Every structure is written in C-alpha cells, then in structure tokens.
Amino acid sequence: MKKMNVWLSTLGFLLVSSAASATQWQINNSESQINFISTKKVNIAEVHQFDKIAGSLSESGEFSVSIDLASVDTGVEIRDSRMKEFLFNIADFPKAVITAKLPPDEIKQLEVGQTKPLSVDGMLELHGQKKALTFEVLVTKVATNELLVVSAHPVILNADDYELAAGVEKLRELAGLPNISHAVPVNFYLTLNATN
C-alpha cells in the first residue's frame, strides 16, 4: 500500500510538472499597455499609448506582440488621425510586431511572487523595417496562471531607423512646431494569462 501511495504521488507530480511545462500564455489586452513619449519644442514631453495589443508566449519561450497602430491614443483626436495617416501609414503598415526568445526554463522555474530580471534579444518590425533590439525586462509570476512582463528600462527607438523621419517632419509641419524629437522612449507592461 505504501509503494502504491508513493507511485501515485510520483505520478501526480509528473502530471503536474508536465502540465506546467506545457503552459501557453496569452496577453491580456485590458491589463497591458505599451506607451511612448514624444518630445516637441525641445523640452515638452507627452505620453501616448496603444489601446490594442495581442500576443503570446509559447512553452518553448517564443514571445510575440502585435500592436494595432490604428489604436494609437494621444488624447487628441486630430493628432491620432495625423499619426495614423502621415507617421505610421496604417493603410500599408497596420501593425508593429515584436518577436523575442525568452529562456523557457527560467520562466517555468519562477515561483508565485518571484521576479526575474532578463536581458532579451528581439526584433521589431515597424513600417516595413526590421531591426534587432535588446529588451531589459522584469518577469514576475503574479499567480499560477498569470505573468507580468515589464520594461526595466525604456527602449529608445529612432524614427530614422524605421523610415519614419519624413512622417515626423510632416507632423511637425502640420502642427507648426519648430521641432519634434526623432528619438522616442518606449515603455511597456504586459499581463499574460495561462491558456491551459
């Protein structure tokens, strides 16, 4: 009987471990945010965000985030419209996509309440351009079925790298501004829920 109990306990442990290792994670749009800061007139900074984000983290650590550029929210309707048309050109480039590889073993070993800093190499596809980026993130296991991935440092994007410089200049011209910075800090927090 004792051997039977040991065997059942071992089997139960293996089943739980197998389920945990096969966890797929999905971004919860309503509890996630990607924001960016624009700077005009040298020292006037404003925070903007995207309202529609989708993505997932696979059991093998493949991480992807799709940003609906039409969901840009600057708090000013005319500015949103101009960004969609003249900066992002959403008719031809409706989404920005981030892909990265997270170490799967380190994610699986996280205990509830534990935070792990990670340096993650990834790729951003934006406006028809692909550029390699390194993301410094903090991954927290909030609950058994919830992860939080937060930028530990802002990611600085340059409009010139994604052929967005002409769009920035068009926005500057339309707004009658002396300048708009081509360097844009981006921050994010992403809540992911287990799907199995």
- Residue 142 is assigned to a structural domain of this protein: yes
Rounded (5°) CA angle 75-80-82: 145
Is residue 36 in some structural domain?
yes
The tens digit of pLDDT for each residue in 154-176 reads: 999 999 999 999 999 999 999 99
pTM to 2 decimal places: 0.86
Whether 148 maps to a domain, the answer reads yes
167 close to 159: Cβ distance less than 8 angstroms: yes
Residue 56 lies in a domain: yes
9 domain residue, yes or no: no
Domain residue limits at 147: 24-194
CATH number of the domain that residue 81 is part of: 2.40.128.110
Classified as helix, coil or strand, 126 is strand
Is 33 part of any domain? yes
Inside any domain, residue 13: no
What pLDDT digit, counting tens, does each position of 38-72 carry? 999 988 999 999 999 999 999 999 999 999 999 99
Percent of the chain at pLDDT > 90 equals 86
H/E run at residue 78? helix 77-82
Q: Are 68 and 49 in contact (CB under 8 A)?
A: no
What gap in Å lies between CA 89 and CA 84, rounded to an integer? Answer: 6
Question: Across the chain, what does the average pLDDT equal?
Answer: 90
Higher pLDDT, 83 or 23: 83
Please tell me what DSSP assigns to residue 87.
Answer: I
pLDDT of residue 180: 96
Within-domain flag for 15: no
Give how many domains the chain has, as a whole number: 1
